[in-house]
Amino acid sequence: MSDSMHDQASLQRNIATFQVLVNCKTHFSGEKFFTQVDKETKQLDAMSRAPSCWMRYADHRNGDIVMQDVFVPKHGDTPNTYYCTLQWNAGHEGGGYCGIQSHAHGQKNYIFSLWKSRSHPDIPIGIPYKGHGTTTTPFGGEGTGMKSMNYSLGWKDNHWYTTVVRRWHHQQHTYFGFWIHDQSANSWAHLVTMDYPARAEFYTQTGSFIEDWAGSGQHQREVHFRHGFKRRTDQTWTAFTAANFSVVQEASTKDYNDNYNAGVQHGYYFMQSGGNTTPSAHLGTSKTIHNHSTPSHPPNKPIHFSITSATSSEVTWHVAESETPQFSYSVTVDKNPYPAASDVDPEKRSVKLNVGAASEVEVTLEDLLGRRVTKSMAIH
């Protein structure tokens, strides 16, 4: 939309608002006048959202890890915007979505949500782990389920962040864990793990979207995505090298239905919505977009850790926040084929032992992306 077209839209909105006042004054008086004005101006505002834009990637096979980098440029950081990096299994067991949000007054948060189980809707989603600053609460509106929010870590525009979701089976349930990596600070954080009361995998295409939830379509929002991957159940990776773009044009976005754009530049996908945005030539309302710059698998280095102490009664180890996070551990003594202890536990950093005259302990860690590294130490 050009500046003149934008000015024209604003003028039309002012004219429509004036017409509401005239009509209400003609037919209503007193308290009814103010009630009707409020009702009709809200109807006008309901047409002022920027259209939501989607990318759905060609990763149809079942998987256990999904991940993607996200970047919001300063000019595209608009309050009341959801920059969703990953959405999966909508309408299926284990459906959910996550990403970053920009709120009023400069507040910025990470969000992770799961819809309630379709087969066990009366069993609540549990929270076996919450990271520092993470809060959890049930949600309604677009379905019902459990969401987590973290404002304390925050995020900044013009910075890249990695979002990772990994699921694993726990008895007859499925755990979903959510991690973020601040690439500028080279710091990882495990924000939350949710206990979903049914078996689930990542069944569907993974999606991303940009959403104006408050009706501020006059402002542009923009998001960049890169290094998107799904790990399939056979332990191989599918890269997000192709995306099906679409725009959602509806009554609530009537004023800005044609103000959107998407494509690939400098090795990343981008989506824009609202403000003076105009579509690129031949984009249309849906199109398959290719990003051949995406590598075949995640570029993150395998986990590095150190054993800090090994005695006959306990072994401890350390993983720095800059390292790809721990997912599971296994501890063996004197190369015994049966581990002294093993489990999926991203936060575990020590194991109690009772090994008498044993001479050596080995700790094997599997990192968040499935790589295993083993360290050993003589028992003192």
Per residue in 244-255, pLDDT (tens digit) is 999 999 999 999
Tell me, what amino acid is at 229?
Answer: F
Per residue in 148-175, pLDDT (tens digit) is 999 999 999 999 999 999 999 999 999 9
Tell me, what amino acid is at 57?
Answer: Y
Nearest to 237 by CA among 309, 297, 156: 297
Section 261-278 average pLDDT? 97
Give residue 32's pLDDT.
66
Rg of the chain over all Cα atoms, to the nearest angstrom: 25
Give residue 38's pLDDT.
58
Q: Rounded to whole angstroms, how far apart are CA atoms 44 and 24?
A: 14
Q: How confident is the model at residue 376 (pLDDT cuts 50, 70, 90)?
A: very high
Q: Are 365 and 378 in contact (CB under 8 A)?
A: no
A 10 A CB-CB count for 208 gives 25
Give residue 35's pLDDT.
60
Percent of all residues in the chain with a pLDDT value above 70, rounded to a whole number: 88
Exposure string (b/e) for 324-361, b if CB count within 10 Å is 16 or more?
A: bbbbbbbbbbeeeeeebbeebebeeeebebebeebeeb
Helix crossing, 3-27 with 30-45: angle to 10°?
Answer: 160
Q: How confident is the model at residue 358 (pLDDT cuts 50, 70, 90)?
A: confident
Task: Decide if pLDDT at 3 tops 50.
Answer: no
Distances in Å between the Cα of 163 and the Cα atoms of 47, 79, 109, 176, 183 are: 32, 21, 13, 13, 11
Per residue in 185-194, pLDDT (tens digit) is 999 999 999 9
Choose between 130 and 26: higher pLDDT.
130
Task: Decide if pLDDT at 299 tops 50.
Answer: yes
> Mean pLDDT for the chain?
91
Give residue 4's pLDDT.
41
Q: How confident is the model at residue 17 (pLDDT cuts 50, 70, 90)?
A: very low
Task: Decide if pLDDT at 8 tops 50.
Answer: no
Q: How confident is the model at residue 356 (pLDDT cuts 50, 70, 90)?
A: confident
Section 209-233 average pLDDT? 96
Task: Decide if pLDDT at 34 tops 70.
Answer: no
Q: Are 238 and 59 in contact (CB under 8 A)?
A: yes
Tell me, what amino acid is at 339?
Answer: P
